Amino acid sequence: QVHVAESGGGLVQAGGSLRLSCVVAGRTDFSDAGGWFRQTPGKEREFIGSISRSSGRTNYADSVKGRFTITRDNANDMVYLQMNSLKPEDTAVYYCAAGQWWSDTVESSYVYWGQGTQVTVSS
């Protein structure tokens, strides 16, 4: 069993920053990928970025590249999403997920999911 739980969401003004945290713990032998997704009402879950927890390699969606950074701290079973230069269009529920391949970008490739944390960016 893999436990995934994200936190750190909140209300922030446009141009501001937030850091989301995600614990990925348990039997993670086949869950190298730490992924971040977001979802707004009426839309499918959108891939934001991912990281290989073993190598640290990352992959980002074009919409957040240069603004968001994913890191990991394996000693503490943590994956982080640092969000800078936030825009109102970044408003969404953000989800952390664990899967086998860090290069995957589709929701179905990730098996274990957190409960989501709300990020609201005001203009």
Q: Where do the DSSP E strands lie in the chain?
A: 2-7, 10-13, 18-26, 33-39, 46-52, 58-60, 68-73, 78-83, 92-99, 110-113, 117-122
Beta bridge partners of 117: 94
Instruction: Report the residue count for the chain.
Output: 123
Q: Is the pLDDT of residue 112 over 90?
A: yes
Q: Model confidence over 49-78: pLDDT tens digits? A: 999 999 999 999 999 999 999 999 999 999
Q: Model confidence over 4-34: pLDDT tens digits? A: 999 999 999 999 999 999 999 998 889 999 9
Residues near 101 by beta carbon (within 8 Å), at least 6 away in sequence:
32, 33, 109
| pLDDT recorded at residue 27 | 86
